[in-house]
Structure 1
Amino acid sequence: MAEALTNVARHSGTGPAAVTATARGGRLVVDGGPGDAVPGGGPEGLAGRVAVVDGRLALPSPVGGATLLRVELPCPRSE
């Protein structure tokens, strides 16, 4: 998420971004936005690193609309 927020600050030209994190069904779900994502090294690099730990990344960024970055990572509960 730190890298995503750095990308927002450097490239988006938007105002503040917000981040939330929740544990749901054995996964850590992290949402961040807004911003204007474009294909390239930043989003693709993040997706690769998330995939390495069996995570998922979604980055909808409609033209003229806000971007929402969602990262889901395995988060097994300790017993």
Structure 2
Amino acid sequence: MRRSSPGAASARPARPDQALRRARGARSGAARARLPEQIEVAVHYVTSECLTNAAKHARATVVEVRARVYENVLEVVIGDDGVGGAEPGGGSGLIGRTDRVEAIGGRLTVRSPPGRGTTLIARLPLPRSAAE
């Protein structure tokens, strides 16, 4: 999902539930069962925190949220065109997101070169029934 506004990114949630529904149903076009609650909560938390940081700190004008399911993994990519320079160990926000993702067996990767925006990639393992 892409939101754009002059000067600042919107802090309004990008409706990760819609992105997840599209990602789960992309292959068959059919509606699928919901993901396990702990995964939905983690994705909501990570996405909303990223959107808030993009609006408050990054001076981003565009934030993109993408989700896809492959090989029993939900991958959520959140990127902005802000100032970058986020340090994974430099504050409680990124540490909290990492802890939340790792607590359910996932992995969080952060790329944030100064002056080139920030991209977070969350990879969360799915139970077989949720990924099929």
After TM superposition, the score normalised by the length of structure 1 is 0.88
Return the alpha-carbon distance in structure 2 between the equivalents of residues 7 and 14 of structure 1: 9
Give the aligned CA root-mean-square deviation in angstroms: 1.4
Return the alpha-carbon distance in structure 2 between the equivalents of residues 6 and 44 of structure 1: 15
- Residues paired across the two proteins, number: 79
Structure 1 or 2: more strand by fraction? 1
User: C-alpha deviations, 1:52-71, integer Å up to 9, x for none?
Assistant: 00010000111221211100
After TM superposition, the score normalised by the length of structure 2 is 0.55
Greater relative contact order, per chain length (Cα 8 Å cut-off, separation 6+): 1
Return the alpha-carbon distance in structure 2 between the equivalents of residues 17 and 3 of structure 1: 12
Point out where structure 2 has 5 or more consecutive residues left out of the alignment.
1-46
Structure 1 or 2: more helix by fraction? 2
1:28 matched to which residue of 2? Answer: 74
Determine which structure has more spread, i.e. the larger CA radius of gyration: 2
Deviation beyond 2 Å, 4+ runs, structure 1 = 35-39
2:117 matched to which residue of 1? Answer: 66
Point out where structure 1 has 5 or more consecutive residues left out of the alignment.
none
